[in-house]
């Protein structure tokens, strides 16, 4: 069955520090992978997505993610975090092999940024 695991419920970093949010997926074929960000009281905004090709994907707001098939991972990174990055981050997986109508979301990682 398709599933997404975000092992870290809550992460705290200092402003200017680097960031890595973990995402592991279970999918029987080549997945489509997404990272969304949700600011407090807001909907979800797409940060980046992976479909095929280059396994290092660049997104908005200086974020990037790397697809590692051997590790079934799609971790989100940012070299220097800004206070405005404080939000909740969701990884999601979808694909063409199974039921194509579902995008499966992880349970989210809440990022707190200290000045």
Partner 1 sequence: NAGVTQTPKFQVLKTGQSMTLQCAQDMNHNSMYWYRQDPGMGLRLIYYSASEGTTDKGEVPNGYNVSRLNKREFSLRLESAAPSQTSVYFCASSESLPGAGNTIYFGEGSWLTVV
**What is the contact surface with partner 1 in residues (CB under 8 A)?**
9, 32, 34, 36, 41-46, 49, 51, 90, 94-96, 98-103, 105-108
SS3 (DSSP) at 43: coil
CB nearer to partner 1: give 36 or 67: 36
When the beta carbons of 77 and 110 are compared against partner 1, the nearer one is 110
Name the residue nearer to partner 1 (CB basis): 11 or 15: 11
Least distance from C-beta 93 to partner 1, angstroms?
Answer: 9
How do 73-78 and 19-21 pair as beta strands? antiparallel
Strands of 1-86, DSSP E: 3-5, 10-14, 19-21, 24-26, 32-38, 44-50, 56-58, 64-68, 73-78
């Amino acid at each position: 069955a398709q599933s997404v695991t975000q092992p870290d419920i809550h992460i705290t970093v200092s402003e200017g520090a680097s960031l890595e949010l973990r995402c592991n997926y279970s999918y029987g074929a080549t997945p489509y992978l997404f990272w969304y960000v949700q600011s407090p009281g807001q909907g979800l905004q797409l940060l980046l997505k992976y479909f095929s090709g280059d396994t290092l994907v660049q997104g908005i707001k200086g974020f990037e993610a790397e697809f590692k098939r051997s590790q079934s991972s799609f971790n989100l990174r940012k070299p220097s975090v800004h206070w405005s990055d404080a939000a909740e981050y969701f990884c999601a997986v979808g694909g063409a092999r199974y039921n194509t109508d579902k995008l499966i979301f992880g349970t989210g990682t809440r990022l707190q940024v200290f000045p």
